[in-house]
Structures are given as structure tokens and as C-alpha cells.
Amino acid sequence: MNAMCSASNIDANFVKLAALCEGKLFAKNTKRPDFKSFVLAQKEADLARVAFCSQMGSAFVILNKMEDAIIGAMATCDRIKVTSVLKEDAEKWEEMLEKHSKLLESTLGNLIKILSKHPILQDDLNYLGWLKSKRDFFIHRFFREGNWPGNLDPRECEFYIRRARYFEIIFNRASVRIWKIFARAGLFILYDLGADGVLLMNPDMFAPDIEEESGG
């Protein structure tokens, strides 16, 4: 594989095949057996390339699911403060929505900076830093080796499919671990119910504001 190739070198036939697959899949009159027959009629190399693109798309979806989980966890915890001051007379639901909107504008790096100001264990901060490095590689450097789908043979596609799957597993696990990290920090209460899942409780949800207790 030529490491110096660029996106403009992607095989034109593969681009046409990808577009054809999309059109065939979403055509109103296409039935599952018809699409399966269409796919099986393609060359092995082209099928491997489509599979690579599919895995990349799946990993990207899980990455966004992970970042949404981190933001959602932060928005759940009243003890975590963002730069904007929430209005004192706003309803709890409105406060959460305002906080969530603010966090959505932040990158994962900025979210880690916010978390570092709160009682998060150092091991957990290290994990989040490692997670950010994996996220940054996937977003910014995954194709630095010139591994564009149209330039790969089936064996090379299989290698990069496994790599993309590796990132997907990391991001998916992080979507669950973030809640446990916050629970260890005491930002909310987590009850592990085993096969039935977990129960989360925000310890500050029904507590009066510190300013109100102190008469401020």
C-alpha cells in the first residue's frame, strides 16, 4: 500500500459502487433478497472496502454516543459547574437544559479540564486523558497512513476494520465507565443492580442551594 496516497486517489469504481449500494439499499422497491443478491455479485475487494466504510461509520456513531454520555453525566451532576452562571430563579429542568447546551459547545479536552477541578480520582483522570488521545487519533490521524478504502485490498481492509473496531470498543466502554467515574467521585449515587442495570441518584437534586442555606 502506498502511504503517500491521498483521498483524491480513491478508486473511482469504488466510489461508484458505494453510491450504487446506497441507492440500491434505500430504493423504495428494493427487497432484502434483492439487495443481498446485488451485494454478493460484487468483487471481493469492493465488498471489503464497503465493509471498512461501514465499520468506520459504526465507530464514529459510538464515538458520538460516548461524548454524549460524558456530557449527559456532567449535566446530571449539580455539583459540576460550567463557566456560565445558571440563573438562580430558573427551574431545575431549565437549569439542566442550559448546562447541557453549554457543555455541548465544549470539546472532550475542555470537559476533562472541567472535571479536573472536581474530586475525580487521578486514575480516572488519567483514563479520560488516555481516552482523549484515542479519540483525537481516530478523528484526526486515522488515515495518515494513506489507508483510504479505495486503495486497499481485502487483507488490508480486514486489518483496518479490526483497528476501527478496536476504537469502537474503547468508545463504547467509556460510555458506561463515565457514570462509574462520577459515582466514585461522589457526584451522584450509583446502585449496581447486576443484570437489571444500574440505578443513579443525584444527591443534590432535592437539596437547597448553599447560598440559600447561608442566607446569601
Is residue 165 within 8 A of residue 56, CB to CB? The reply is no
Angle (CA) 122-119-177 rounded to 5° is 65
Of residues 53 and 214, more confidence is placed in 53
**pLDDT at residue 193 is higher than 90:** no
**H or E segment at 59?**
helix 44-76
The 10s digit of each residue's pLDDT in 20-76 is 565 555 566 656 666 667 767 778 888 888 889 889 999 999 999 998 888 888 777
- For residue 15, pLDDT over 80 is answered with no
The pLDDT value recorded for residue 17 is 58
Mean pLDDT confidence for 148-161:
91
Read off the C-alpha cell for 195. Answer: 443484570
- Reference 51, options 26, 18, 24; nearest CA is 18
Cell 447486576: give the residue. 194
With 50 as the cut, is the pLDDT of residue 189 above it? yes
- Amino acid 177 reads R
Tens of pLDDT, residues 77-134: 766 554 443 344 445 656 666 777 777 667 778 878 887 887 788 999 999 999 999 9
Q: Which long-range contacts (CB under 8 A, 24 or more apart) does 139-143 make?
A: 139/63, 142/56, 142/167, 143/7
Which helix (H) or strand (E) segment is 163 a member of? Answer: helix 154-184
Question: Which segment, 79-83, 88-92, 145-149, 201-205, is predicted with the most confidence on average?
Answer: 145-149
Q: Is the pLDDT of residue 197 over 80?
A: no
**pTM, entire model:** 0.73
Name the residue with higher pLDDT: 17 or 59: 59
Crossing angle of helices 44-76 and 154-184, in 10° steps, is 10
- The pLDDT, as a whole number, for residue 85 is 37
